[in-house]
Amino acid sequence: MELAQHEQPLSWRATWQAQAHAHPYTSAGLALALAVVAWLLLVSVWRVATGEADAALRLGLLGGMAGFAATAVGALPALFLRGLSSRTEDTMLGLAAGMMLAASSFSLILPGLAAGEELTGNTTVGALTVVVGLGLGVLLMLGLDQFTPHAHQHLGSHGAGSGRVSRVWLFVFAIALHNLPEGMAIGVSFSQGDLNVGLPLTTAIAIQDIPEGLAVAMALKAAGLSPSRAVWVAVLSGVMEPVGALLGIGLASGLALAYPIGLGLAAGAMIFVVSHEVIPETHRNGHQTPATLGLMAGFAVMMVLDTTLG
């Protein structure tokens, strides 16, 4: 009886400390990524606050709200649908993954390489600048993945303290982790007020948010929420996109070199989410072929959008 009394659940602080001790390198990487993000944000906040980034701020917020609205539109049919087959869901997620990969390549990495070369006067140094951003994006998402309790429909729970949070909230946290880099990508792409960079990326993310919003709402229904609550939670998850857009604008609208770094950071975060979570989830039910075809279709759609709108 005394032993049972002593085996109390760890506090959240103790849980995170234990996670940090268990994953020291990931913890150090997250600390570094957060420090650099905070530094870039503090440096650039002055420009945003003094009005120098007004146009970028408006465009970024509109882009983030477009992602939010698309998520809401996609979630609404869950009020009437009884369920989606796992094949259909995996195909939809594959489509979203393809568009995210193409957006990372065409609307983030390529403009980042061009900006890095222009700022540094050297192709190699410019590319390395984007690589630094890619690494920071991966470190940021890897650290958040380790320390934020979350779960996916087929991949189980992850993160510190995941056993202490209900399954529904684990899904909500997973959605937040997924939408944050998308919003950051929108904000970074508009941080210089360049529609040729921001418009194709925002269009692609908004389009892929529609099937993604439906998939999220259906997953929440499967987790036990009523249809109306599942739709509301899925809609509210889209709020992370304008929030992420504000963060992306702040990150990349200050120091000149912060722009290619920010583009690389957003790309790294999105690629991490696709490779670490979305693709494995689409392959877990044995639907690799339709999921891969969806990914290729999404990639092709984004490539056409980038060529047409860029």
State the SS3 of 92-109. Answer: HHHHHHHHHHHHHHHHHH
Tell me the residue ranges of DSSP E strands in the chain. Answer: 150-152, 156-158
Of residues 269 and 158, more confidently modeled: 269
The per-residue pLDDT for range 40-76, each reduced to its tens digit, is 666 555 665 666 656 777 888 889 999 999 999 999 9
The sign one gets for the Cα dihedral 67, 72, 78, 80 is negative
Q: Say which DSSP state 1 is in.
A: -
pLDDT at 120 over 70: yes
Of residues 145 and 100, more confidently modeled: 100
pLDDT at 256 over 80: no
**Do 149 and 164 touch, CB atoms closer than 8 A?**
yes
Mean pLDDT of 69-94: 86
Of residues 29 and 69, more confidently modeled: 69
The per-residue pLDDT for range 260-288, each reduced to its tens digit, is 988 898 899 889 888 887 888 888 888 88
Phi-psi region of 89 (alpha: psi -120 to 50; beta: other; left: phi over 0): alpha
Rounded mean pLDDT of the chain?
78
What are 52's two structure tokens? 């120098």
pLDDT at 236 over 60: yes
Question: Which residues, other chains included, contact 275 with Cβ-Cβ below 8 Å and sequence gap of 6+?
Answer: none
The per-residue pLDDT for range 123-155, each reduced to its tens digit, is 999 999 999 999 888 887 877 776 665 455 554
Distance CA 299, CA 293 (A): 10
Q: In the prediction, which pLDDT does 162 show?
A: 44
